[in-house]
Amino acid sequence: MSFLTDLNTGCSAYTAFTYNGSSIKLPYYLGGKKTPDQIRTAIANWGGSSKTTTEIQTYVSNNRSTFGIDCSGLVYYALNEASSGAVRTYFESKLNNAVGKLTYAFGISASNLTNTAYGTKITAAKDIKPGCTIFMHDNTTGSDHVIVIHSVNKNSAGVVTSIAYAHSNGSKGPHHGSITIGNQTKDLNDSSQTWHDTAYTDAGAKNLYRHTLLLEPIAGLV
């Protein structure tokens, strides 16, 4: 399997979560770090195999602390799985007292996954690679948010035309979004680009956007 394939698989494990072949929409929960398999186990332990899809969906939606996933939980899982553990190994070497501790349950924060100390800041769409993280920050609430880019699409001339990403946020849970690129030499908050996301308007996304980052442990894989 390739990094790109595994990255898309890791994102879809949350955005297109299934249990026994049925699609279940996962909620957002701050601090939610369970892996997809752990979520399936929790559903099974509740008795999910004897429940209808509607019953399971209702139960999952009403028990966010058990079944929800937050932004860094999704991004860390997708990047670490796609990199065969390189992201965990890298951050355990960089963060204080982290060696042997950065399990998915422990997690890596959105601020660390987007910190320019741990990668290269990207300021033009043409330089963005799958695996780059996007840092969003709400000045009103002071909250940080991380998004992971999983696809960069180019036309026959090699010009970037769109970017696809995944994230989990408070209003929509894990889902996908995209950005239409009107000028590949500009950053993602430029007026030439257009964001498409059920959680944000184009203007709202650009207001929250701070930067795009290519993490050091990902740079050698793309």
> Could you list the pLDDT tens digit for every one of the 222 residues in the chain?
699 999 999 999 999 999 999 999 999 999 999 999 999 999 999 999 999 999 999 999 999 999 999 999 999 999 999 999 999 999 999 999 999 999 999 999 999 999 999 999 999 999 999 999 999 999 999 999 999 999 999 999 999 999 999 999 999 999 999 999 999 999 999 999 999 999 999 999 999 999 999 999 999 999
How far is Cα 170 from Cα 174, in angstroms, rounded to an integer?
9
Distance CA 90, CA 214 (A): 13
Asked if residues 79 and 10 have their Cβ atoms less than 8 Å apart, the reply is yes
Question: Buried b vs exposed e over 154-189: b needs ≥16 C-beta within 10 Å?
Answer: eeeeeebebbbbbbbbbebbbbbbbbebeebebbbb
Please tell me the distance from the alpha carbon of residue 71 to that of residue 65, in angstroms, as a whole number: 14
pLDDT for 157 equals 98
Query: In this structure, are residues 32 and 173 in contact, taking their beta carbons and an 8 Å threshold?
Result: no
- pLDDT at 167 (0 to 100): 98
202-to-146, 193, 199, 214 alpha-carbon distances in Å: 17, 9, 10, 23
Q: What's the confidence (pLDDT) of residue 22?
A: 97
Give me the pLDDT at residue 172, please: 97
Do the Cβ atoms of 183 and 110 come closer than 8 Å?
A: no
Q: How far from chain centre, in Å, is Cα 26?
A: 14
Contacts with 15 (C-beta within 8 Å, 6 or more apart), sequence order: 166, 174, 175, 176
Q: Is the dihedral of CA 107, 113, 117, 120 positive or negative?
A: positive
Tens-digit pLDDT profile for residues 62-121: 999 999 999 999 999 999 999 999 999 999 999 999 999 999 999 999 999 999 999 999
Which positions ≥6 away from 185 have C-beta within 8 Å? 124, 125, 126
